[in-house]
Amino acid sequence: MDFSSALPTFIITLREGVEAALVVGIVLAYLKKAKQSHLNAWVYGGIAGGLVVSALVGILFGFVIQSLGSSNQKYAPVFEPLLEGVFSVAAIVMLSWMLVWMTQQARLLKGQVEGAIGATLKGDNAAGWGIFGLIFFAVLREGFETVLFIAAKFQQGLVPALGATAGIVSAIAIGFLLFRWGVKINLRAFFLVMGIFLLLIVGGLVVSALGHFDTAISTLAQMDRQSEGLCFYYERFTKFPSCVLGPMVWNTSKVLPDHQFPGVILHTLFGYEDKLYVVQAVSYVLFLLIIGGVYLKSVMGWKLNSTKAINAETSVGK
């Protein structure tokens, strides 16, 4: 069995799971400090609820995919790559947004969570439900992103789900190391490295999504003469034609095929294609420049603010 497709989901759920674990750890620590540990059960209930609903969303997505694929057998070859492309775009948007947002909000996370808990505890009777909702949506948000990513790669079977499970278990272990056993982990370095991995994974998803749309349009054009005009590159590029992706940039299928090791690792992690076209290459570079630029700017802003805070504390100490 090829487990290479489990690597991207492992990395994504590990990173997103650690974010959720930070929220859970902050909540539990605050409740202990406020002598409200009797509300811990609501925290664990929120975790369980978020995981269950995430799994249900995954099952629902799988049902929708199967239903659309079997609703019209004639166009089933078109629906499958089209759905993969649509889910890929959704995953690209969600993961990119979370990558940038979490980096910008990371230095404020503790204060925001503690402020939300403090406001919730003032509600007395509604405190338990408020804490449950805070944890539930934190876990669900991370789980939903993983579900979208797996849905974008649903043709790879259960292997991505195994990677997601391993990522969740690892994130829980890191949470225990941080909050239960007091082990110090450089979270800034962790999120920086995982963020770069995530950026490359989502960039690869951009390449894959365009490939899926090209396959869907090409298949439709071959099935329906009225749709032949959609493949506008066929008329201009007769050698190595693509339907909508333009001329070929490279063909490394004989040197480094993307379905054999080590090409399959590069394919599943970074979207490497042994046959790459102009539109895919340009889109990949633009994605890295735009989203990667915003991400690195956020990281540099985080470091700058942290340095200012340290300098301010040093000045006050003097």
Neighbours of 62 (CB within 10 A): 14
Residue 202: pLDDT above 80? yes
More confident residue, 95 or 186: 95
For the chain, what is the radius of gyration of the CA atoms? 23
Neighbours of 114 (CB within 10 A): 16
pLDDT at 315 (0 to 100): 40
pLDDT at 301 (0 to 100): 64
More confident residue, 156 or 50: 50
The tokens of 153 are what?
A: 């790669």
Confidence category of residue 206, pLDDT binned at 50, 70, 90 = very high
Average pLDDT, the chain: 76
Residue (of 13, 5, 22, 4) closest to 177 by Cα position: 22
Residue pair 282/206 in contact by the 8 Å Cβ criterion: no
pLDDT at 40 (0 to 100): 84
Q: Looking at residues 22-48, what average pLDDT do you find? A: 83
196 vs 174: CA distance, rounded Å:
19
Residue 88: pLDDT above 80? yes
pLDDT at 307 (0 to 100): 42
pTM for the structure as a whole: 0.74
Residue 308: pLDDT above 60? no
Residue 239: pLDDT above 70? no
